[in-house]
Chain A
Amino acid sequence: DSGVTQTPKHLITATGQRVTLRCSPRSGDLSVYWYQQSLDQGLQFLIQYYNGEERAKGNILERFSAQQFPDLHSELNLSSLELGDSALYFCASSVDSGRAPDTQYFGPGTRLTVL
Protein backbone atom coordinates (compact mmCIF):
# COMPACT_ATOMS: atom_id res chain seq x y z
CA ASP A 1 0.00 0.00 0.00
CA SER A 2 1.57 3.28 -1.17
CA GLY A 3 -0.51 5.47 1.12
CA VAL A 4 -2.09 7.27 -1.84
CA THR A 5 -5.81 6.69 -2.18
CA GLN A 6 -7.96 7.15 -5.25
CA THR A 7 -11.70 6.89 -5.72
CA PRO A 8 -13.54 5.47 -7.45
CA LYS A 9 -11.62 2.42 -8.58
CA HIS A 10 -13.82 1.92 -11.63
CA LEU A 11 -16.03 4.33 -13.50
CA ILE A 12 -18.26 3.61 -16.47
CA THR A 13 -20.00 6.47 -18.16
CA ALA A 14 -21.29 7.66 -21.51
CA THR A 15 -19.87 10.03 -24.07
CA GLY A 16 -20.58 13.66 -23.33
CA GLN A 17 -20.73 13.15 -19.59
CA ARG A 18 -18.60 14.66 -16.84
CA VAL A 19 -16.83 12.78 -14.06
CA THR A 20 -14.67 13.64 -11.06
CA LEU A 21 -11.77 11.55 -9.89
CA ARG A 22 -10.53 11.98 -6.36
CA CYS A 23 -7.09 11.54 -4.84
CA SER A 24 -5.66 11.79 -1.35
CA PRO A 25 -1.85 11.98 -1.18
CA ARG A 26 0.41 10.30 1.33
CA SER A 27 0.60 12.03 4.66
CA GLY A 28 3.22 14.77 4.43
CA ASP A 29 3.38 14.89 0.65
CA LEU A 30 2.71 18.31 -0.81
CA SER A 31 2.78 17.48 -4.50
CA VAL A 32 0.08 15.65 -6.39
CA TYR A 33 0.47 14.50 -9.98
CA TRP A 34 -2.14 13.20 -12.37
CA TYR A 35 -1.29 10.75 -15.12
CA GLN A 36 -3.25 9.06 -17.87
CA GLN A 37 -2.30 5.58 -19.00
CA SER A 38 -3.83 4.28 -22.18
CA LEU A 39 -2.78 1.29 -24.23
CA ASP A 40 -1.41 3.23 -27.14
CA GLN A 41 0.02 6.25 -25.30
CA GLY A 42 1.79 4.81 -22.30
CA LEU A 43 1.96 6.90 -19.15
CA GLN A 44 1.23 10.54 -19.88
CA PHE A 45 1.72 13.35 -17.37
CA LEU A 46 -1.33 15.59 -17.12
CA ILE A 47 -0.83 18.11 -14.33
CA GLN A 48 0.93 18.73 -11.02
CA TYR A 49 -0.19 20.64 -7.96
CA TYR A 50 2.06 21.68 -5.14
CA ASN A 51 0.56 22.78 -1.83
CA GLY A 52 -2.63 23.97 -3.47
CA GLU A 53 -1.08 25.70 -6.45
CA GLU A 54 -0.77 24.47 -10.00
CA ARG A 55 2.89 23.86 -10.70
CA ALA A 56 3.08 22.26 -14.11
CA LYS A 57 0.87 21.22 -16.96
CA GLY A 58 1.53 18.39 -19.35
CA ASN A 59 -0.62 16.94 -22.07
CA ILE A 60 -3.88 17.87 -20.43
CA LEU A 61 -6.87 18.57 -22.64
CA GLU A 62 -8.91 21.72 -22.18
CA ARG A 63 -11.88 19.51 -21.31
CA PHE A 64 -9.93 18.34 -18.27
CA SER A 65 -9.27 20.37 -15.14
CA ALA A 66 -7.92 19.72 -11.70
CA GLN A 67 -7.53 21.36 -8.34
CA GLN A 68 -5.88 20.72 -5.03
CA PHE A 69 -7.73 21.64 -1.88
CA PRO A 70 -6.39 23.05 1.42
CA ASP A 71 -6.33 19.55 2.93
CA LEU A 72 -4.13 18.60 -0.07
CA HIS A 73 -6.52 16.16 -1.64
CA SER A 74 -6.98 16.66 -5.34
CA GLU A 75 -9.71 16.18 -7.89
CA LEU A 76 -9.45 15.67 -11.62
CA ASN A 77 -12.52 16.71 -13.57
CA LEU A 78 -13.10 15.27 -17.01
CA SER A 79 -15.91 16.74 -19.08
CA SER A 80 -17.50 16.20 -22.51
CA LEU A 81 -16.08 12.71 -22.38
CA GLU A 82 -15.12 10.94 -25.56
CA LEU A 83 -14.46 7.27 -26.27
CA GLY A 84 -10.75 8.04 -26.44
CA ASP A 85 -10.73 9.24 -22.84
CA SER A 86 -11.12 5.65 -21.67
CA ALA A 87 -7.94 4.94 -19.73
CA LEU A 88 -6.41 4.29 -16.35
CA TYR A 89 -5.95 7.55 -14.45
CA PHE A 90 -3.32 7.65 -11.77
CA CYS A 91 -2.67 10.08 -9.02
CA ALA A 92 0.80 10.15 -7.52
CA SER A 93 2.25 12.14 -4.66
CA SER A 94 5.69 13.15 -3.49
CA VAL A 95 7.32 15.29 -0.84
CA ASP A 96 8.84 17.48 -3.56
CA SER A 97 11.70 18.81 -1.48
CA GLY A 98 13.19 20.53 -4.52
CA ARG A 99 16.55 18.90 -3.89
CA ALA A 100 17.07 15.24 -4.72
CA PRO A 101 14.57 13.79 -7.17
CA ASP A 102 11.57 12.70 -5.17
CA THR A 103 10.00 9.31 -5.47
CA GLN A 104 6.46 9.52 -6.73
CA TYR A 105 4.14 7.11 -5.00
CA PHE A 106 1.15 6.08 -7.07
CA GLY A 107 -2.39 5.42 -6.06
CA PRO A 108 -4.25 2.33 -7.27
CA GLY A 109 -5.71 4.22 -10.21
CA THR A 110 -9.21 4.86 -11.52
CA ARG A 111 -10.19 2.86 -14.57
CA LEU A 112 -12.47 5.01 -16.69
CA THR A 113 -14.56 3.44 -19.41
CA VAL A 114 -16.48 5.74 -21.74
CA LEU A 115 -19.22 3.98 -23.71
Chain B
Amino acid sequence: AQKITQTQPGMFVQEKEAVTLDCTYDTSDQSYGLFWYKQPSSGEMIFLIYQGSYDEQNATEGRYSLNFQKARKSANLVISASQLGDSAMYFCAMTPEGTGGFKTIFGAGTRLFVKA
Protein backbone atom coordinates (compact mmCIF):
# COMPACT_ATOMS: atom_id res chain seq x y z
CA ALA B 1 0.00 0.00 0.00
CA GLN B 2 1.15 3.52 -0.68
CA LYS B 3 2.13 5.60 2.28
CA ILE B 4 3.55 8.99 3.16
CA THR B 5 5.48 9.42 6.38
CA GLN B 6 6.32 12.72 7.99
CA THR B 7 8.26 11.87 11.11
CA GLN B 8 8.47 15.36 12.61
CA PRO B 9 5.18 16.33 14.28
CA GLY B 10 6.62 19.71 15.22
CA MET B 11 9.74 21.72 14.52
CA PHE B 12 11.22 25.01 15.62
CA VAL B 13 13.48 27.20 13.49
CA GLN B 14 15.03 30.58 14.11
CA GLU B 15 13.95 33.36 11.79
CA LYS B 16 16.27 33.74 8.77
CA GLU B 17 17.65 30.22 9.13
CA ALA B 18 16.98 27.32 6.76
CA VAL B 19 14.88 24.35 7.79
CA THR B 20 14.29 20.90 6.30
CA LEU B 21 10.99 19.11 6.68
CA ASP B 22 11.23 15.38 6.15
CA CYS B 23 8.99 13.27 3.94
CA THR B 24 9.42 9.66 2.97
CA TYR B 25 7.05 7.71 0.79
CA ASP B 26 6.36 4.14 -0.08
CA THR B 27 5.09 3.15 -3.49
CA SER B 28 5.56 0.42 -6.04
CA ASP B 29 4.68 2.78 -8.88
CA GLN B 30 7.48 3.85 -11.18
CA SER B 31 5.90 7.14 -12.04
CA TYR B 32 4.39 9.55 -9.54
CA GLY B 33 4.28 13.14 -8.43
CA LEU B 34 5.23 14.61 -5.09
CA PHE B 35 3.71 17.75 -3.63
CA TRP B 36 4.08 19.98 -0.63
CA TYR B 37 1.28 22.08 0.79
CA LYS B 38 1.26 24.71 3.51
CA GLN B 39 -1.66 25.18 5.89
CA PRO B 40 -1.43 28.32 8.03
CA SER B 41 -3.60 28.80 11.09
CA SER B 42 -6.24 30.45 8.92
CA GLY B 43 -6.91 27.02 7.47
CA GLU B 44 -6.41 27.23 3.72
CA MET B 45 -4.21 24.69 1.93
CA ILE B 46 -1.61 26.40 -0.21
CA PHE B 47 0.29 24.53 -2.93
CA LEU B 48 4.03 25.13 -2.61
CA ILE B 49 6.01 22.87 -4.91
CA TYR B 50 5.85 19.82 -7.18
CA GLN B 51 8.42 17.18 -8.14
CA GLY B 52 7.87 14.52 -10.78
CA SER B 53 9.48 11.16 -10.20
CA TYR B 54 11.34 11.35 -13.52
CA ASP B 55 12.55 14.89 -12.99
CA GLU B 56 16.33 14.85 -12.68
CA GLN B 57 16.59 18.28 -11.17
CA ASN B 58 15.27 19.11 -7.74
CA ALA B 59 12.29 21.44 -7.92
CA THR B 60 12.63 24.98 -6.62
CA GLU B 61 10.07 27.72 -6.10
CA GLY B 62 11.45 30.86 -4.56
CA ARG B 63 12.57 30.04 -1.01
CA TYR B 64 11.23 26.49 -1.30
CA SER B 65 13.20 23.61 -2.73
CA LEU B 66 12.49 19.92 -2.77
CA ASN B 67 15.39 17.61 -1.96
CA PHE B 68 14.36 14.55 -3.99
CA GLN B 69 16.24 11.30 -3.42
CA LYS B 70 14.43 8.69 -5.44
CA ALA B 71 16.45 5.68 -4.31
CA ARG B 72 15.78 6.56 -0.70
CA LYS B 73 12.17 7.48 -1.48
CA SER B 74 12.44 10.80 0.23
CA ALA B 75 11.15 14.22 -0.78
CA ASN B 76 12.23 16.68 1.86
CA LEU B 77 11.11 20.30 1.74
CA VAL B 78 13.79 22.89 2.36
CA ILE B 79 12.73 26.39 3.31
CA SER B 80 15.54 28.91 3.14
CA ALA B 81 15.68 32.15 5.11
CA SER B 82 12.67 31.32 7.28
CA GLN B 83 10.15 34.06 7.93
CA LEU B 84 7.60 34.41 10.71
CA GLY B 85 4.89 33.87 8.12
CA ASP B 86 6.27 30.41 7.44
CA SER B 87 4.82 29.22 10.74
CA ALA B 88 2.22 26.71 9.61
CA MET B 89 1.42 23.06 9.10
CA TYR B 90 3.15 21.47 6.12
CA PHE B 91 1.83 18.42 4.29
CA CYS B 92 3.67 16.15 1.89
CA ALA B 93 1.54 14.36 -0.70
CA MET B 94 1.99 11.85 -3.52
CA THR B 95 -0.10 11.12 -6.60
CA PRO B 96 0.52 8.10 -8.83
CA GLU B 97 0.78 9.22 -12.42
CA GLY B 98 -2.10 8.65 -14.77
CA THR B 99 -4.55 7.55 -12.13
CA GLY B 100 -6.12 10.85 -11.35
CA GLY B 101 -5.90 12.92 -8.25
CA PHE B 102 -8.29 10.77 -6.24
CA LYS B 103 -5.39 8.46 -5.40
CA THR B 104 -3.41 11.27 -3.84
CA ILE B 105 -2.28 10.43 -0.35
CA PHE B 106 -1.23 12.96 2.27
CA GLY B 107 1.13 12.70 5.18
CA ALA B 108 0.09 13.58 8.71
CA GLY B 109 1.90 16.90 8.50
CA THR B 110 4.67 18.76 10.30
CA ARG B 111 3.93 21.87 12.30
CA LEU B 112 6.67 24.47 11.87
CA PHE B 113 7.22 27.25 14.38
CA VAL B 114 9.46 30.13 13.34
CA LYS B 115 10.98 32.01 16.26
CA ALA B 116 11.81 35.72 16.09
Report which A residues bind B (CB closer than 8 A).
2, 31, 33, 42-43, 45, 48, 50, 55-56, 58, 88, 90, 92, 94, 96, 98-109, 111
Who on chain B is nearest to A57 by CB? B102
**Smallest distance from the beta carbon of B6 to chain A beta carbons, Å?**
11
Question: Assuming the A-B contacts A102-B95, A106-B37, are A45 and B102 also in contact, with contact meaning beta carbons closer than 8 angstroms in the complex?
Answer: yes
A31 to chain B: closest CB distance in Å?
A: 6
Contact B100 A48 (CB under 8 A): yes
What interface size band does chain B fall in?
Answer: 20 to 34
Whether the pair B97, A100 counts as a contact (CB closer than 8 A) is yes
Question: Is chain A's binding surface mostly helix, strand, loop or mixed?
Answer: strand
A27 to chain B, nearest CB (A): 16
The distance in angstroms between the C-alpha atoms of A99 and B99, with both chains bound, is 8
The 3 residue pairs across chains A and B that have the minimum distance between CB atoms: A101-B33, A56-B102, A106-B45
Alpha-carbon distance between A107 and B42 when the two chains are bound, in angstroms: 12
| A21 to B104 Cα, complex, angstroms | 22
Given pairs A43-B91, A101-B50, 12 additional interface contacts (CB within 8 A): A2-B44, A42-B106, A96-B101, A98-B100, A100-B97, A101-B33, A102-B101, A105-B47, A106-B47, A107-B44, A108-B43, A109-B44
Interface residue? B113 (CB, 8 A): no
Q: How far is the CA of A26 from the CA of B84 in the complex (A)?
A: 29
Question: Any chain A CB within 8 A of the CB of B32?
Answer: yes
Interface centre among B42, B97, B101, B102 (most CB of A within 10 A): B101
Find the A residue at minimum CB distance from B37: A106
Give the shortest distance, in Å, between A98 (CB) and chain B (any CB).
6
Closest chain-A Cβ to B68's Cβ sits at a distance in Å of: 14
Q: Are B100 and A55 in contact (CB under 8 A)?
A: yes
Among A45, A55, A107, the one with the most B-chain Cβ atoms within 10 Å of its Cβ is: A45
Contact indicator A42/B109 (Cβ below 8 Å): yes
Q: Are B100 and A90 in contact (CB under 8 A)?
A: no
Q: Is the CB of B47 within 8 A of A101?
A: no
Instruction: Write out the residue numbers on chain A whose beta carbons fall within 8 Å of the beta carbon of B47.
Output: 2, 103-106
